Structure 1
């Protein structure tokens, strides 16, 4: 009976004190490591932002061309929508 208690008490202490602290610290450090973007994710984000800026410039250029060649294109589109409704 004493050998059973000899192994039982340290096991209970280990399971109630050490294991929960170990798990908490493990997931806490994992969360700290994953807090920011990785280098690959940051590169993809920068590429997407550059693409969005180029597309925005293209739209602005197209609007400028349409404004110079067909002055009422914005209101014409709105008038077409009102006719369809």
Structure 2
């Protein structure tokens, strides 16, 4: 009779409490914290600044060398890269 007094409350009180406790833990873990939101905002600001800098570099390059995109797309046309190296890379792939 003495062990029944402990087992019954453990089943009807302890077990539901334990289940509900971990359910609330899982739900709160799935949300973003304030630190996470600040980190996302900082990363967004950083990416925007990097994009602005890249646009500035592209404008400068376009003013200095109007055909820089074609040269970047086909480095063999510049004569700066050895064609045999490029052929060796194609064979490796």
Structure 1 residue 30, shift from structure 2 partner: 2.1
Structure 1's unaligned 5+ residue stretches are none
Q: 67, 75, 79: which is aligned to 1:80? A: 75
Deviation at 1:29, TM superposition (A): 2.1
Deviations 1:32-58 (A, max 9, x none): 333422222211211111010000111
Return the alpha-carbon distance in structure 2 between the equivalents of residues 30 and 54 of structure 1: 37
RMSD of aligned residue pairs (Cα, Å): 2.1
Matched positions, count = 80
* Partners of 1:58 and 1:41 in 2: CA distance: 26
**TM-score scaled to structure 1, two decimals?**
0.75
Gap regions ≥5 residues in structure 2: 78-82, 87-93
TM-score under structure 2 length normalisation: 0.70
1:48-67 correspondence runs (5 A): 48-67=43-62
